[in-house]
Amino acid sequence: MKRIVLSISVVLMVLTSCSKKAHPSVDGSTKSREYPIETPGKTETTVAPAIVLPAPAVSLSSPMIVIDGTGQIISSRDKLPSEIAARVDYNAIARSFTPAQKQNLIFRFKMLPPRVLLIPDRFVSKSARGYYCVYKKKFWYWRKDDGLFYLDETYYQ
């Protein structure tokens, strides 16, 4: 019985010692690892360069209304990310709903939803039809080529 316990403990020690690999520290420090380089006649130690990660992109914390239900511009080009602001044509997207569409939306949903939104990537989902987001658990918005999300036309057509 002692042999079995002893052999199991030896196997466990071997397995645990083999599983400890050189990983960077968990505390977030950027210590460089030293790797010995052996060449015939002499041994040197070099320091590996520290890995530099790119800075995270600034992202929105919540959806931003670009055009509201009355067709007014809420977010100017200055507030939009530069890659989206270059593609946005406010003359084409700044339209309000027709009076009949407004009345229908208010009757059905008790509110007038915004027409155009800028949605952070973490709220975006993908389907076979494209990228979409559900706003206030009621309204589906679909991404178009300019990077903005537009209210699904089934709500007001």
When pLDDT is averaged across residues 23-44 and rounded to a whole number, the result is 53
> Which pLDDT does position 124 carry in this prediction?
93
When pLDDT is averaged across residues 134-148 and rounded to a whole number, the result is 92
When pLDDT is averaged across residues 3-17 and rounded to a whole number, the result is 74
DSSP 106: H
DSSP 134: E
Q: What residue type is 88 in one-letter code?
A: V
18 or 140, higher pLDDT: 140
Residue-wise pLDDT tens digits, 99-120:
999 999 999 999 999 999 999 8
When pLDDT is averaged across residues 13-23 and rounded to a whole number, the result is 59
Phi and psi angles of residue 126, each rounded to the nearest 5 degrees, phi first? -120, 140
When pLDDT is averaged across residues 54-68 and rounded to a whole number, the result is 68
Pair 151, 115: CB distance under 8 Å: yes
Mean pLDDT of the chain: 78
Q: Rounded to whole angstroms, how far apart are CA atoms 43 and 94?
A: 70
